[in-house]
Structure formats: C-alpha cells, structure tokens
Amino acid sequence: MECLHESCGSVDKIWLPYEGHVGTKGLKSHVYCINCGAVKNISTDRPKKASYFINSLSKVDKRIVKLTKVQVRLIVKELEGIKDFDDAYSMTRQVQEKTFIKIVKNYCNVSEDYIASILQN
C-alpha cells in the first residue's frame, strides 16, 4: 500500500548530511513522513514525475531507433510497476534516470548515451 506522505512539523525535523552535486556539504534539517518514516529528498537532484520519462520516449529520433507502440507500452507498463518511482521522499532523479535507461535498453537496441541525451533535452 502506498503511503500518502504527511510531513512532520518544522520543530520535529531531523538533522542529516546534505548531499549536492559535488558531494556532502554538511548537515541540514530534513522533513520526514510521520506515517512511514521516509526522509524527504531535499537535494538539488529532485525526482521527476513518471510522465516526464514517458513523454521523453516521443523524442526518440525515428531515423535512429524504430520504437514500436508495443515497445512503448511495455516500457510504460514497467515504469508504472515500479513502486514509488516518482516519490519525492524516497527517490532521486539520478536513480530514476538509471532505472529508465535500463528499462529502455531491455526493449530496444540503443546506447545508454543516446537515452541520456534524450533526457537532457
């Protein structure tokens, strides 16, 4: 069952290491869910909604990769099956991108660099 995250109050925040693009930058107060205990991601590496990744499939150049409707459907179905894929509390964008690249590579013969370039545009 998915948790409908409810943030703790500002007084109850916990102090944890803060990680940015360059690495650990010290301590910051983090919000956590009072229902499940998951700590909210406050880094600059915030997750995107699953629809962002699904829409990025439309950016595939038809001359380079022929992506059929069946392949797109299988990719979408697998993304939807991943628990908490677009959860701001337990996922980072970097993990999302790695997962998306792995799934797309399962269904079509395309390089990781090409998929990553689609996500950057």
Domain map of the chain by residue range? 1-43, 45-120
The count of other CB atoms within 10 Å of the CB of residue 47 is: 21
- Cα radius of gyration (the chain): 17
Across-strand partners of 18?
A: 26
pLDDT digits (tens, 9 = 90+) for 47-85: 899 899 999 988 887 767 888 899 999 999 999 999 888
Q: What is this structure's pTM? A: 0.78
Question: Whole-angstrom distance between the N-terminal and C-terminal Cα of the chain?
Answer: 34
Which pLDDT tens digit goes with each residue over 16-28?
877 666 666 778 8
Give me 115's structure tokens.
């998929």
